């Protein structure tokens, strides 16, 4: 039985989303696939690129200690803020439901994704699982009554990823931001307001870009950027991007960039030896 989940890229709103502010995120074409087979004896996990022991423990906790062979394949770079763990959780929930003969609801998938994400940090907002299960462009907000998830029309522009090559640890970054509250609360609120503002200009890449740069500076203010990520933002802007920012928890991971000429951004990054690719394909810009 096989299940899959998509990677995600947060366009804006990471960290603030943990405290109830809204965020916007894309599903990527990259995905994680989980295959389950019956086997005699203890559950055996071949987790491939997921080298983190917490992943293996979480999979065994979901499936039980005996009787399953688990094979994980993923195109999503791990530890780069691209939602590899949520994609895995969604893929696992789908494969496990297929094995039981169930057709899982989105809610069941989200719940499974949250359980696994809790092994990575104690207070996941749930945005990763919401996008991994649905794909497309999603507006997400955590409320006391549960998550509010809206699917939005995808904008016409593409999203380029520039990979720093280093992994960030989501738990460390989320705990760090929490420890800096209430000092960073004003910056978190400004990130939330930017998300609302970006929604109003979403089709216009020239208007979205500067707001992403502002979001990056706010993420730097709350202590989750690094000199390497700041340098990638500068390289993207010098390569014609209208905007760029770190995406995900930070401390490593990726920068996303948008602009009228995504290929030029990719080429500019590659000239500096930085792996870059178009992760969300837009249509033709007018």
**Helix, strand, or coil (residue 62):** helix
Burial status of residue 79 (CB atoms within 10 A of its CB: 0-12, 13-18, 19 or more): buried
Number of H helices, E strands in the chain: 9, 10
Q: Does 31 bind ligand PMV (CB under 6 A)?
A: no
Q: Does 5 bind ligand PMV (CB under 6 A)?
A: no
Task: Compare residues 68 and 159 and give the one whose CB is closer to ligand PMV.
Answer: 159
Q: Does 242 bind ligand PMV (CB under 6 A)?
A: no
Q: Which of 176, 169, 177, 173 minimizes the C-alpha distance to 54?
A: 169
CA distance 211 to 267: 23
Cβ at position 261, least distance to ligand PMV in Å: 27
Tell me the per-residue interface mask from 153 to 192 with ligand PMV, x by CB under 6 A, - otherwise: -----------------x---x------------------
Tell me which residues in 76-115 interact with ligand PMV (CB under 6 A): 81, 83
16 token code pair: 């603030």
Considering only residues 124, 176, 259, 268, which one is a binding residue for ligand PMV as defined by CB under 6 A? 124
Cα-to-chain-centroid distance, residue 84: 7
Number of residues that bind ligand PMV (CB under 6 A): 15
Cβ at position 256, least distance to ligand PMV in Å: 12
Cβ at position 207, least distance to ligand PMV in Å: 24
**Helix, strand, or coil (residue 1):** coil
Cα distances (Å, whole numbers) of residue 206 to 13, 47, 189, 211: 19, 41, 24, 9
CA distance 112 to 125: 14
Task: Compare residues 17 and 235 and give the one whose CB is closer to ligand PMV.
Answer: 17
Q: Are 26 and 131 in contact (CB under 8 A)?
A: yes
Task: Compare residues 66 and 277 and give the one whose CB is closer to ligand PMV.
Answer: 277
Sheet architecture: strand order including 276-280: 243-247, 254-258, 159-163, 276-280
Q: Specify the stretch interacting with ligand PMV by CB under 6 A; choose among 9-17, 34-42, 201-209, 230-238.
A: 9-17
Considering only residues 7, 22, 248, 252, which one is a binding residue for ligand PMV as defined by CB under 6 A? 248
For ligand PMV, the binding residues (CB under 6 A) are 14-15, 17-18, 81, 83, 124-125, 127-128, 170, 174, 248-249, 253
């Amino acid at each position: 039985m096989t299940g899959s989940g998509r990677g995600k890229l947060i366009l804006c709103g990471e960290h603030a989303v943990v405290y109830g502010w809204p965020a916007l995120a894309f599903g990527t074409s990259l995905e994680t696939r989980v295959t389950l087979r019956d086997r005699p004896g203890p559950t055996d996990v071949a987790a491939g690129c997921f080298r983190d022991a917490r992943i293996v423990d979480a999979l065994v906790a979901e499936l039980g200690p005996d009787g399953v062979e688990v094979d994980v394949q993923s195109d999503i770079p791990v530890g780069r803020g691209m939602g590899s763990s949520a994609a895995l959780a969604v893929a696992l929930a789908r494969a496990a439901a297929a094995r039981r003969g169930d057709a899982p609801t989105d809610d069941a998938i989200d719940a499974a994704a949250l359980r696994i994400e809790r092994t990575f940090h104690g207070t996941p907002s749930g945005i990763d699982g919401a996008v991994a299960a649905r794909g497309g462009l999603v507006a997400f907000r955590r409320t006391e009554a549960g998550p509010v998830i809206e699917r939005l029309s995808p904008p016409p522009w593409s999203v380029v990823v520039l990979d720093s090559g280093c992994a960030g640890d989501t738990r460390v970054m989320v705990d760090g931001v929490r420890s800096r509250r209430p000092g960073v609360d004003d910056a978190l609120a400004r990130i939330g307001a930017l998300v609302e503002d970006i929604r109003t200009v979403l089709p216009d890449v020239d208007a979205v870009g500067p707001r992403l740069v502002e979001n990056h500076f706010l993420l730097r203010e709350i202590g989750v950027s690094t000199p390497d990520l700041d340098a990638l933002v500068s390289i993207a802007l010098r390569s014609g991007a209208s905007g760029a920012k770190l995406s995900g928890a930070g401390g490593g991971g990726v920068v996303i960039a948008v602009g009228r000429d995504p290929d030029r951004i990719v080429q500019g990054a590659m000239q500096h030896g930085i792996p870059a690719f178009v992760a969300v394909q837009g249509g033709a810009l007018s």
